Amino acid sequence: MLALWPFGSEVKQMKRVTNPYIFLLIFVMTAVAAMAQNPSSLAADDASTDPVTRSEFENRVRAYTSRRENLEAEMQALPKQATAEQISAHKSALLKKVLADRKGAVRGNIFTPDAERMIRGIIGSHYSGRDRMELKKELAEAENKTVPVRVNAVYPEAAELLEMPATLLQLLPQLPKQVRYRFVGNSLLLVDRESHLIVDYMTNALP
């Protein structure tokens, strides 16, 4: 007569085989539910690691710096022993040329929607919990509230400059030496290192 139910050691073996599959099924269902409840986090992770978006952003920044270098090359070169007055005059003249060349530039020429999503994803993954709260507090207390956050405005030299953490800079798209990232409130700016010109900016940089 055939046995209809397993007994003894057979039952134990069956439990050993079944339990891992139950745990795996629960884990998968939990992960799927979490992604369904927060699809934006998955999108942010994908955007922050998109090499195409990163490369295109870096190319747009290089296009600005290349054009800036070409405009400066058209000017009379500074003498090797230039005075402070000559250097200041040179910087002012270059700024005027760059502003004339960038007439009509608007926000988003460099920080495109895709680039903004990428950078928000990077910053959001780097700062979480207490670190994010502390950074928001630091940004709120910074003495740079007078900075006019708009394209082609000049970042006042008297305003506080918040240095970007080295670990964050390693994660963000790399910039040529002529430009820098700067936080003003919750906005992230691209600022010309020498003329302090705001080349572009994005809002809500810290999710």
- For the stretch 116-142, pLDDT in tens is 999 999 998 888 888 888 888 888 888
Give the whole-angstrom CA distance, residue 98 versus residue 106: 14
Q: Total structural domains in the chain?
A: 1
Could you list the residue range(s) of the whole structural domain that residue 138 is in?
Answer: 44-76+84-202
Residue 24 domain-assigned (yes or no): no
Q: What is the identity of the amino acid at 26?
A: I
Residue 13 domain-assigned (yes or no): no
Residue 148 domain-assigned (yes or no): yes
Residue 115 domain-assigned (yes or no): yes
Instruction: Note the pLDDT tens digit of each residue in 158-189.
Output: 888 887 888 899 999 999 999 999 999 999 99
> Model's pTM, two decimal places?
0.74
Residue 62 domain-assigned (yes or no): yes
Give the whole-angstrom CA distance, residue 30 versus residue 129: 22
* Among candidate residues 31, 28, 8, the one with its CA nearest the CA of residue 20: 28
